[in-house]
Amino acid sequence: MSEKRRIKLEKEDKELASYLSKKYKIKLETEIYIPTSIFNEKLGTLEAIVKYLKENLNLRASEISSELKKKYSTISTTYQRASKKHSKKFLIKEFKFSIPVKILRNKKFSTLELAVSYLKENYDLTLTEISKLLHRDPKTIWTIYSRYKKK
């Protein structure tokens, strides 16, 4: 599925969930996925994710804070830093791998640890393949994954 189509569906789902929530006072969850194509050498993992959620999915900092279960001030500061490092909006083409936002909520692990473990365990990728997707050194990915397994 193309990124444009997926974003359109997510927006429609979000609007429907909002309407039903207001009308029937119920809360519907819509799943948000992070395409691995947003990761680059300039930005940290959390910076890339926050920037993508804010600029590409048009979420407010408070919504991102809620989605990631992080403090509003952390999200705000992270976005400001990311914007200075990478001023352009992410151009998302077709992508093969994505990471659900809900797995990034676990405070026991870093964002990078959660992303690496998800890609390793759900897509059965090698650590070298993951390092290429996330634009990180293979040794770093190995260290991150081994640290994740120890926790």
For residue 57, the 8-state DSSP code is S
- With pLDDT > 70 as the criterion, what percentage of the chain qualifies? 81
- What was the pLDDT predicted at 79? 98
- What was the pLDDT predicted at 7? 46
The number of distinct structural domains making up the chain is: 1
113-135: string of b/e by CB count within 10 Å (b at 16+)?
Answer: bbbbbbbbeeeebebebbbebbe
Q: Is a pLDDT exceeding 60 seen at residue 106?
A: yes
Angle at CA 112, nearest 5°, toward 58 and 114?
90
Angle at CA 115, nearest 5°, toward 137 and 123?
95
Q: How far apart are CA 1 and CA 94, in angstroms?
A: 7
End-to-end CA distance of the chain: 35
- What was the pLDDT predicted at 94? 76
The answer as to whether 1 is a domain residue is no
The answer as to whether 22 is a domain residue is no
The answer as to whether 90 is a domain residue is yes
Residue 17: in which H helix or E strand, if any?
Answer: helix 3-24
The answer as to whether 42 is a domain residue is yes
The answer as to whether 44 is a domain residue is yes
Q: Is 106 helix (H, G, I), strand (E, B) or coil?
A: coil
The answer as to whether 112 is a domain residue is yes
Q: Is a pLDDT exceeding 60 seen at residue 49?
A: yes
The answer as to whether 13 is a domain residue is no
Which pTM does this prediction carry? 0.81
- What was the pLDDT predicted at 31? 85
Owning domain of residue 96: 31-150
The answer as to whether 21 is a domain residue is no
Mean pLDDT across the chain: 88
Q: Is a pLDDT exceeding 80 seen at residue 80?
A: yes
